[in-house]
Amino acid sequence: MKVDVKVPSMGESITEATVANIIKSSGSHVAMDDEILELETDKVNQVLYAPQAGILNLNVKPQDKVKIGQVLGYVETEGAEKHSGETPEKNVILPEKNTTPSVESKASTQKQAEKIEVKPLSTANARLGKEDFLKDLQAPYSGEDKTPPITSPSNTSALSAISPERETRRKMSGIRKVIASRMVEVKNTTAMLTTFNEVDMSAVMGLRDKFKEDFLHKQGVKLGLMSFFVKACVSALKQFPDINSYIEGDEIVHREFYDIGMAVGTDRGVIVPVVRNCDQLSYAEIERSIEGFAKKAREGSISVDDLQGGSFTITNGGIYGSMLSTPIINPGQSAILGLHKITKRAVVVDDQIVIRPIMYLALSYDHRIVDGKEAVSFLVHVKNHLEYPGASALI
């Protein structure tokens, strides 16, 4: 009996995937639930497992595009094979389409090219005027190529200096293609601008140091800095609702929920899992969500549902040592907050020069919907919330 291997549903927004890796080749004997191949989408990778024990036959190869529900092959169960004596069908690989131009198209192109003759200007730095152009059009074609070859010593030497042995090429992964496409899309479809501020992290760091042991003991999770930023952003989003909105056609859609995306770097690229209903969560619940996503990211088990939605995003380049950046807004959102490295700096407090742990904040926003005054005020609100936090909500 043949049991089909199909592409499973992987989320409402996903309609196709790419065959990333063939784990078990056609003709292999597989046990039930053996890993047989890996699919890659623009958001997650998913491994497919053998539905039954038997002989595997696949009709796809790496880098093939497949649709949700598509049959990728089948498993010939052992019982059916013994009775029928059938062997798995061999994969048929169609010859690649010949993309070489036809003789007719070459000849046509050559005839058109022969109608045009390009001549060098008589003097250096001369300009080609209308009279020169008309004169050349009326002149009979000589049949000789008098145009000297165009050479650029600097470019030629630079190109010749790079040998193929010093370069490597690799296919872009599905997620990298999507990242590239979306980043360009956002740059081309939004009026993106970035405003900056700095925040004195003394109060937050002091509060964390004071309560971290009790917090860990009572809540079972470490108290990090990210929960403070999430709470500060939720407070600011409530004060400035346009930043929690997006444009659809000629309407501004205000979101009445606070789902904060957390940009996380992985080996495959940046992913943005979303912490839902942050306005209803405690510091401990936020920290548990962040810790859970970090574990999933390390294991490669982030689901599509984890990445969908989000009304605002926080990205932390500081963990990699970034001093300052201009983060790019996520599609469907109007702003993103960039966090950076905390550095001890000399600042003036009460007319005294003191050393304080300072972080630079960057808010990139869509100027079509968010005015400069609103963006600056949002960032100041976040700054004040962090510099004067309350301890009552922690424990």
The predicted pLDDT at position 199 comes to 98
Span 308-330, average pLDDT:
94
Question: Which structural domain, as residue segments, surrounds residue 259?
Answer: 189-393
- Summarised one tens digit per residue, pLDDT across range 259-310 is 999 988 777 777 889 999 999 999 999 999 999 998 888 787 888 888 888 9
- Please give the model's pTM, rounded to 2 decimal places: 0.63
Higher pLDDT, 67 or 352: 352
Q: Does any domain span residue 71?
A: yes
Query: Which of 4, 136, 371, 385 is an active site residue?
Result: 371
Mean pLDDT across the chain, nearest whole number?
82
Do 195 and 329 reside in the same domain of the chain?
yes
pLDDT at 86 over 70: no
pLDDT at 191 over 60: yes
Q: Which of 48, 76, 104 is the last residue of a domain?
A: 76
Q: Residue 40 is part of a domain; what is its CATH number?
A: 2.40.50.100
Q: Which of 50, 76, 102 is the last residue of a domain?
A: 76
- Count other C-beta atoms under 10 Å from residue 356's C-beta: 18
The predicted pLDDT at position 85 comes to 45
The predicted pLDDT at position 69 comes to 87
pLDDT at 107 over 70: no
Higher pLDDT, 299 or 142: 299
pLDDT at 157 over 60: no
The predicted pLDDT at position 1 comes to 86
Number of domains in the chain: 2
Higher pLDDT, 300 or 196: 196
Higher pLDDT, 268 or 380: 380
Burial class (CB within 10 angstroms; exposed 0-12, middle 13-18, buried 19+) of 219? middle
Q: Residue 320 is part of a domain; what is its CATH number?
A: 3.30.559.10
User: What are the backbone angles phi and psi of residue 366, rounded to the nearest 5°?
Assistant: -90, 110
Judged by average pLDDT, the poorest of 118-127, 265-274, 346-355 is 118-127
Do 231 and 375 reside in the same domain of the chain?
yes
pLDDT-based confidence at residue 10 (cuts at 50, 70, 90): confident
Using an 8 Å Cβ cutoff, are 327 and 320 in contact?
no
The predicted pLDDT at position 35 comes to 87
Query: Which of 34, 279, 367, 381 is an active site residue?
Result: 367
User: What are the backbone angles phi and psi of residue 74, rounded to the nearest 5°?
Assistant: -155, 165
The predicted pLDDT at position 91 comes to 46
Q: Does any domain span residue 81?
A: no
Do 340 and 197 reside in the same domain of the chain?
yes
- Summarised one tens digit per residue, pLDDT across range 34-79 is 888 888 886 677 888 888 899 998 999 888 888 888 899 989 886 5
Q: Does any domain span residue 91?
A: no
Q: Does any domain span residue 129?
A: no
Do 72 and 195 reside in the same domain of the chain?
no
Cα–chain-centroid distance for residue 100?
Answer: 35
Do 72 and 198 reside in the same domain of the chain?
no
- Count other C-beta atoms under 10 Å from residue 74's C-beta: 22
In angstroms, the Cα distances linking 98 to 38, 103, 107, 110, 225 are 30, 13, 18, 21, 58
Q: What percent of the chain has pLDDT over 90?
A: 45
Q: Does any domain span residue 367?
A: yes
The predicted pLDDT at position 178 comes to 79
In angstroms, the Cα distances linking 94 to 23, 87, 101 are 22, 21, 20
Q: Does any domain span residue 310?
A: yes
Active site residue 366: no
- Summarised one tens digit per residue, pLDDT across range 205-219 is 999 999 999 999 999
Q: How far apart are CA 337 and CA 360, in angstroms?
A: 11
The predicted pLDDT at position 373 comes to 97
The predicted pLDDT at position 93 comes to 44
Higher pLDDT, 318 or 121: 318
Q: Does any domain span residue 229?
A: yes
Judged by average pLDDT, the poorest of 226-240, 298-312, 348-362, 376-390 is 298-312
The predicted pLDDT at position 153 comes to 52
Nearest to 376 by CA among 386, 366, 363, 358: 363
Instruction: Give the sheet arrangement for strand 54-58, strand by strand.
Output: 2-6, 71-77, 54-58, 29-30
Q: Does any domain span residue 84?
A: no
Span 80-94, average pLDDT:
46
Instruction: Classify strands 343-349 and 45-49 as parallel, antiparallel or unpaired.
Output: unpaired
Active site residue 217: no
Span 328-340, average pLDDT:
95
Q: Which of 31, 53, 76 is the last residue of a domain?
A: 76
